[in-house]
Each structure stands twice: as C-alpha cells, then as structure tokens.
Structure 1
C-alpha cells in the first residue's frame, strides 16, 4: 500500500462520516480516527520491521476545496466590505470568558482600537483590535474554533 492509497483512504473515511476505520494486511496495519476537529491519525506499522511507526496526515485538502467553492460567489457580494483577518494561528474566541458578553455582534458599530475577539495561541490570549471604523456585517468564524494566519474573521462595512 503506497502513500497515494493511504491518502485516498483518508479522504474516503472523512467523507463517509465514520469515526474510526482499521485496516490490516500482512505487512501493514492502518488505523484512521476522525474527531470533532476533523483530525486524522494514520499509523502504519510494518509487521516485520519496527514495533510502531506513526505517520500523520492532515485531511485539509478536501476541506479548503469545499470552503473555497462557496466563497467565490460571496466575494463578489462582499467586495464593498473590509475583511478583518487573523494576524496569528490559534483558537478564536468571541468573548473574554464563558460568562461574559460577546466583544462584538452583527450590526454593532465599531471604532479603531475596539477589541473584536481573542485568539489564543500557546496559552496566551491575544486581543484582536479593529484597525477600521464601521459596522460589523458578518462574523465568519464560529466561537472556539481554530483559525489560521490571514484567515478572514469579520466583514466590516466602513460606510
């Protein structure tokens, strides 16, 4: 079984919605587990050689394709808006703590310097401040979800 077959198997399992798949042949043992954050772990263990050789493969290839397709038509409608993007990789939070209110809500007016959200990176909570004035049109990320560098977080109407 080569790497291409393993990648195709990961894609198939991710699409099927199964939480765990085990495949065992004479020379290879593979376990694919998918969780709530769509992380996939592949373990390939040659029976005769090493006791265990873990290999990680991220199923991020199918996810961005699905995200980019709907985003293309929406980009035309949102061209008049300013996109606030994530300056770092981390976990996106809309509130300072679970018992506090949201920093900003859709329809709320914001000014330069207003805190829009918090992104946790390596146990540090970084306040993301607005660099523009305007009105929040859309929140593009769910609370407590991971974000990448330069990922769009908010749409702001500057008018």
Structure 2
C-alpha cells in the first residue's frame, strides 16, 4: 500500500505533467488520478490502513489552475467485526521487521500457535523471513492467542500487528 507521502508526490507529479489521467494498480489497491481543468477542487486522499482508519491529506496548493482528484480503492473489504471489537485490553504482537510471515517452521509442520493457544512470554509464535534469514518471533507476554491477524506466507511490514493476545 502506498504511504501518504508517496501519494502526495504522485499528485504533484501528475499535476505538473501534461497527462490528464493516471491509473496505478498494485496488490489490490487502485490509485486513479484525473485532472479537472475547469474548476479548482481540493484533493482528498482517503487511505485505508490495517486498523481501518482513514487519513485525509490537505490540498497541496489550492491556488493552482488544475486540481487533481484522487480515489484510493481497496479491493479487500475490512472485516466489520474487527471494527466492533474492543481491543483495548489486548496485547498486540507486532512484526519487528519487513519480511514474510510463516506460522510453522516448515510447510508440513504444525503451526506454532492457533487461536485459543496458551502462551508464555518466551513462546515462539511464528517466523518472519527477511533476506533468507528465518527470525523466530516470541510472544512478549503470558496469555492466550485471541486472533491471528495475518495469513501464512503473507508479506508483513515493520510494526504491523501479527497477533492479538489476551494477557494473563
């Protein structure tokens, strides 16, 4: 997913160029920009983040003669149940690096943990592979796995929540 700063830079580049329309698609995210040369309109940039928070960027330069309208559409819908859950009492185990998430040590082995598994702070929850190095991720707290937030083989970002744990 594009970051807000990258989207702002794209808006500037399209606005300064001779092109009237720009479309970019990557991993289920679609960015579409069109110049509207007849009216000045501020550009609103909605960004869907993992926690379903919308970020609206202010217009870059409203005095320009051409404004860029931008729509970011996420193909995958955010699960409405996640928005309704009270997660304030849960501990998030986050990825300490960018890499690929694996639930087990090998494809034919059982997952380290499942929803409902009791864990200690030294329990191995998963592996994050980064640059051919397999890094074991530990629980950090004693408790019970409430939810696994990523799928096996999925790319994860630094700081991305991987597990929700109910601390004991």
Which bracket does the TM-score occupy, shorter chain normalised?
Answer: 0.5 to 0.7
1:156 corresponds, among 142, 162, 165, to: 165
- Secondary structure of the equivalent of 1:65? coil
1:30-69 alignment, distance < 5 Å: 34=26, 37-38=27-28, 65=48, 67=50, 68-69=52-53
C-alpha distance 66-129 of structure 1, shift in aligned 2 (>3 A): closer
Match of 1:123 in 2: 132
C-alpha distance 99-79 of structure 1, shift in aligned 2 (>3 A): same
- Secondary structure of the equivalent of 2:88? coil
2:118 is equivalent to residue 135 of structure 1: no
C-alpha distance 6-130 of structure 1, shift in aligned 2 (>3 A): farther
CA deviation after TM superposition for structure 1 residue 74, in Å: 3.0
2:90 is equivalent to residue 81 of structure 1: yes
Q: Give the alignment's Cα RMSD to 1 decimal.
A: 3.0
Aligned residues: 113
CA deviation after TM superposition for structure 1 residue 7, in Å: 8.1
Runs (5+) with no aligned partner, structure 2: 1-11, 31-44, 54-77
C-alpha distance 127-3 of structure 1, shift in aligned 2 (>3 A): same
- Secondary structure of the equivalent of 2:112? coil
> What is the CA–CA distance in structure 2 between the aligned matches of 1:7 and 1:144, rounded to whole Å?
35
> What is the CA–CA distance in structure 2 between the aligned matches of 1:7 and 1:158, rounded to whole Å?
50
**Structure with more of its chain in helix, by fraction:** 1
